[in-house]
Each structure stands twice: as structure tokens, then as C-alpha cells.
Amino acid sequence: MSESTLILLWNIPSTIAAALTPKQILTACIPLVFILTAYYLLIFRARMHIIKTKLPKYNTIPSSTVKHIADKDTLRNLSGKIDVAIVGSGIGALSNAVCLSRQGFKVAVFEQNETVGGCTHTFEKEGYEFDVGVHYVGGFGPAVKRMYDELSDGQLKWNKLDYVYDVIYNGKTGERIEVTDNHLLNRKVLTEHFGIDAKSWRLFNRKKFWAKFWSCVVLQLKLWNPIVLRLVWPCIAYPYRYFALRSTTEVLRECGFSAEAIGALTYHYGDHGVPPHRCPFFMTALLDTHYRNGGYFPRGGSRSIAKCLTAAIERRGGHVYALTPVQEILIKHTMFGTKAVGVCIRGIDVMVNKCVVSGAGVLKTFGVDSAGNDQTPLVDFKDGSHQRALLHNKKSYPTLDAVTPCLSNLSLFIGLNRTDKQLNLPAQNIWHLHDWDHESSWKNAMNSSSILDNTADKTPFLFISNESAKDPDFPLKHPGKSTSEVVAMVKYDLFKQWENTSHKLRHADYLEMKDKITESYLEPFYLHFPQARGHVVFTSLGTPLTMNKFLGRKFGEVYSLDHDIARFDGYKVQRALHPQTTIQNLYLTGEDAFVVSVTASMISGYVTAARISWWSFLSIVPMLAWGLPHTMFG
């Protein structure tokens, strides 16, 4: 920039001031005074609900915090005394509850499971504690750290995984690639291993930027009234589809990557459950830098997330209850349309003063189709018909086909009789891939007709995680022990034959199948950690039916909706998955209303709070306007 240009810019304020009269300057300042006054009142209001006393450490919060149960008298007393009822207690629901509590709303969270937390809860069996859904957390920049601190009142603490936090292993060729928290080094390793040229990387970076940009634009529209989405969509639909929604495989081929390089670059597609040939490119673009600062894990295990957020809600007069399943969201018909007025629990109507928020997912909230697909949604079919109609394909009406449930998984929980240090188990993950050709291995798995087609040598990938090694507090709680987990994706259809049987009372063929899968999955675990052989004293295999029982799923879906291209394409889909539903005072939160991942689900709680309250909107929008792009672009 030349010196004359700098002088011109420097003189602009004085030039404007000289051209205006004092009266005009005063008139121009009046709106600014109003804005500053509004934000002063906003900050004053928020400070009323900031906890100023010194809080106990995260590991002193009792486990009973996430196991409070509401009896019928408690439910009757709550009716009419709470502002917001929240269905489900995943991190999105708890995040939303904290945001609203900080603005002075009285909230009550209702969870159907015996422990609050959704996929962030843990379970104990035979002296071992296992994390269910949180294996590592990324996107951990200053903005995200600030959000977690704000939600937990600074109680939630994090531990960084090892320098090598991921290992890519090709099961067919034996190739092994280490992924570190040094993003440039990872690029260099891939370049040398697959012979990727500089031009391919430049094209990839350019396409990645625009994919992130347009997806960020669309995601930020969820902060605003759906009318804004309707007005803006015609202007952004084409660039959004072109840059963000084309398949990952198509875009990477345009960049000049070989098939093997594409397989390595998309090794962690299990984080969202969609292989690259079906995955919108923006998901891959986000993942490319999501872990650029490494992976993190909550100290005290994933249940610390639920404990810290629950404690923050209760400090502000809110309530969080387990084993309190919502049977129905109560809808009232008015001259202006339908309106959510409360929830029904154990036959008791709990009325609210403000709104109802569902963190149970779109499928459970509104049903799958007009016939219900053999399930009972929380919202009456007739009342939820308009919301479902947004997702109907006219040719196949009434089937809900614009979005579909994602695949389920098989989770092998492993307990060992030695500590991580004794067995030298690193705080990292192993992505044990079938080979670099994800499309072929995925199609073979989807065409399988037997559960035994999902053994370790046939499944598209195995995710092996040393859970206890990631938590420095684990040895204090469980001395002399350690835990690991092996996860694989699987079709729910293969388990339909047992879906109507009772837990722990299933047929011998089911138990025999579990034993064979367990034995199969242990071999890759021993391959990567041979020192663990002979020290495995406990195993338990979780199936899609386990997901149904403990997470309230219908199809064992691990990430709720499938994150394929159709799930993000079109105005109607965006409107149906907007936090503000077509029913007045009924809102959505969680990954269905945003995107998958622990951090994204947490942000969804903020986004939904912004739609519920203008006070929340004014306090949250400035933070997300900076934090969301910072999180997405790194």
C-alpha cells in the first residue's frame, strides 16, 4: 500500500467530520448510544447468572449428579413453574440448557436412560468403566475452549492425546502412517508416501476453503429466523451445491489425487459415518483441519462433560432428571397454528411457560413417515405432518427419504488387568482399514446378508481406541486396570430378527454370533498391541440393539441422521433441520440441527438458544460470528 493511500485513509474521519454539522454528528451518534446501552444491559443481565463463588474441582462432583430421578409429585410441582422443557440429555441438549439458564430461564432436562449425558455417559461393568461415544475431541481452538469453559463454569478440564494421535493402517498391504498434531508434517508424509505434487495440494486447499466458506454461510443461517433462510437460499444455493456438496471422491480426483491418496486422506470418514463417494466435500474439508491441533479427551472420562454441565444447570435453579422418559410433546391448537405447551411424562402433563426443545433427533421427534414406520414419535402425526412433508419426495410420498438414519455400529469393550503404563498402551487411535478403496469395501459391507460378513477381515474399517490411556485420572479410579475399545460400522437390517427380544434374554444364536465377532475383533487389537495378549480379562460387545435400548434409537443409528449429500441439499431439507421447527415454541438441538461431532453438537446448543431468546441471540451471535469461522477454518 502506497504512502499516498495511507494518508488518504488517515484523513477520511476528519474529512467526514468537517462535512457534517454538530447536529448531524449528534443525530448519527444516537443509534450508537442505543446499541451500546443495549449491550451494557445484556452484559449486566448475563452477569446476574454468573457463578462468582469458588467452585469445586471437576473430579469432586458426585456421580449422583447425573442420576437424579423425578417422581410423580416432583413432575406435578414442575408443571407451570419451568420456562423450558428439554427432551434428551446429549451434549447439545445440556449445552442449550446451560445457555438458557445463564439468561435466567428455568429449565428442566428429561432423559430416558438411567444416566444423563447421551453419548457422553459412561458405564461400569465388573469393575471397569467404559466411555460410550466420546473417543477424542477436535476443533480445539480458543473459541471452542472458551465455549466449554463458559458452559461448565471453568470446571471441565481436558487432556491432550499423544503427539501421534492417529495411526492409519492398511489391512491389505500392511502400510502404516502416523498422524501427528503437526498438520504440515502430515502433509509432507502423505506427499512422500503417495507422490502427491504441489499442484494437487494447491487445488485441494483452494477447494477446501470455498467448501468451508459456503458451508459456514449455510450453518450460520441457523442462527436467524427461517424467513432469512427462505430469502437468502436462492442466492446461495448454486455456489453452496457446487463447492460444498459435491462428493469428496469427485473433488479429490479433480485435484489430481490418486485412488490410494484419496483413501489415506479420507481415512477418518468413520467420524461421520459416510464413505468419500457419498460424503459431501465440506465434511472432508472440515475434518482435514478439525484435529490440526491434535486430539483432546475430557479428564475424568466423557462423563465429566455431563457432570460439569449438569452441575452448571442446577446451580442456576434448573433441573436435570434421568429415567424420566418423555412420552409426548404436548401441542395446543390456536387460531395462529400449532404451539408446543409442554411434555407428558408417566401420564403427567408438565406445562412450560416458554418452549420445548427436543434433543432426541428428528426421527424420534416427528416420526419417519405418515404411518410412523412402527414407531411412536413425540409429536402427534397430524401435528408433525407439515414438518415431515418438508422431507417427502413427491414420487414416493409418504416415505421420508430426503434424510435417512445413519448406520449403526458394533462396539467391543475390552478390560485388561494391567495399567496402560505397564502395557505401554499409547493415548492414540488406530484406524485399521480394509484397504485404500473405501467405496468397494463399503459396498461389500452394505450388500452383506450375514452378520459374520462383518468380521475384522471383511469390515470396511475398525477403530481401535485406548480409552483409559487418554484419561490421566483413570488409574486413580481403577488402579491396576485399563480399557480399550474396538468399533466397526454395521447395517441395522442384520439385527432385525432380534429387535423384539428382551435384553439379556436373547436366543443362543445371538450370543454365539457375539462370541464370534468378539474373537474376530480381538485379533487386530493384538496385532497392534501384542503386549496386551494374555491380559484381556473382560469383553462385552455392544450391538445396534444396545443403542436402541440405552440411547432410545429405533434403527441403532450412532450419528442419528446419515450425513450424506441429500441430508444437506435443498431448501426444504435445510428448513426441516432448522432449530426453529414449523410448530410454534418447539425447537430442535443436537447434531440433527447442525452437524456431527462432539464440538458441533455443543455449538448447536448455542445456536438453538439464539433462536429461543433475543437476549441469548444478542449475546451468542457476536461470539459465534467469530468462533464458528475460527473453528471451521482453523
Mean pLDDT of the residues in the chain = 88
Positive or negative, the Cα torsion across 96, 98, 99, 103? positive
pLDDT in tens, 378-397: 999 889 888 888 887 544 43
Q: Which of 229-238, 251-260, 381-390, 512-521 has the lowest mean pLDDT?
A: 381-390
Range picked from 122-131, 495-504, 565-574, 583-592 for highest mean pLDDT: 583-592
Domain residue limits, the chain:
3-47, 68-134+301-403+559-633, 183-290, 407-551
Cα dihedral 434, 436, 439, 443, rounded to 10, equals -20
Nearest-10 crossing angle of helices 303-315, 142-152: 60
Beta strands in 499-622 (DSSP E): 536-542, 586-588
Q: Is 193 exposed, middle or buried (0-12, 13-18, 19+ CB in 10 A)?
A: middle
pLDDT band at 358 (very low <50, low <70, confident <90, very high): very high
β-bridge mates for residue 122, sequence order: 131
pLDDT of amino acid 41: 55
pTM as predicted: 0.90
Q: Which of 113, 67, 65 is nearest to 90 (CA)?
A: 113
What residues have CB less than 8 Å from 70, skipping those under 6 apart? 78, 110, 319, 321, 324, 345
pLDDT band at 376 (very low <50, low <70, confident <90, very high): confident
Residue 590 has pLDDT above 50, yes or no: yes
Q: Is 425 exposed, middle or buried (0-12, 13-18, 19+ CB in 10 A)?
A: buried
β-bridge mates for residue 429, sequence order: 166, 465
pLDDT of amino acid 79: 95
- CATH code of domain 68-134+301-403+559-633: 3.50.50.60
- The CA R_g of the chain, rounded to the nearest whole Å, is 25
Average pLDDT of 438-455? 90
pLDDT of amino acid 324: 94
Can you tell me the distance from the alpha carbon of 254 to that of 299, in angstroms, rounded to the nearest whole number? 42
Q: Is 408 exposed, middle or buried (0-12, 13-18, 19+ CB in 10 A)?
A: buried
pLDDT of amino acid 540: 94
The C-alpha cell at 230 is: 427462505
Q: Is 527 exposed, middle or buried (0-12, 13-18, 19+ CB in 10 A)?
A: middle
The DSSP H or E segment spanning 124 is strand 122-125
pLDDT of amino acid 385: 85
pLDDT in tens, 451-494: 888 888 899 999 999 999 999 999 999 999 999 999 999 999 89
What residues have CB less than 8 Å from 184, skipping those under 6 apart? none
- 88 touches 590 (CB < 8 A): yes
Residue 399 has pLDDT above 50, yes or no: no
Runs of H (alpha helix) within 278-433: 281-290, 303-315, 362-366, 385-389, 420-423
Average pLDDT of 246-272? 96
Can you tell me the distance from the alpha carbon of 295 to that of 463, in angstroms, rounded to the nearest whole number? 15
Q: Is 148 exposed, middle or buried (0-12, 13-18, 19+ CB in 10 A)?
A: buried
Average pLDDT of 326-346? 94
Q: Is 315 exposed, middle or buried (0-12, 13-18, 19+ CB in 10 A)?
A: middle
Better-scored residue on pLDDT, 46 or 197 = 197
What phi, psi does 536 have (nearest 5°)? Answer: -80, 115
Average pLDDT of 66-92? 94
Q: Which of 455, 428, 477 is nearest to 136 (CA)?
A: 428
Residue 298 has pLDDT above 80, yes or no: yes
Give the number of C-alpha atoms closer than 13 A to the C-alpha of residue 129, restricted to the C-beta side.
Answer: 20
Estimate to the nearest angstrom the gap between the alpha carbon of 143 and the chain centroid: 17
Residue 232 has pLDDT above 90, yes or no: yes
The C-alpha cell at 89 is: 440429555
A 10 A CB-CB count for 504 gives 6
- 434 touches 460 (CB < 8 A): yes
3-class DSSP state of 314: helix
The C-alpha cell at 211 is: 467448501
pLDDT band at 45 (very low <50, low <70, confident <90, very high): low
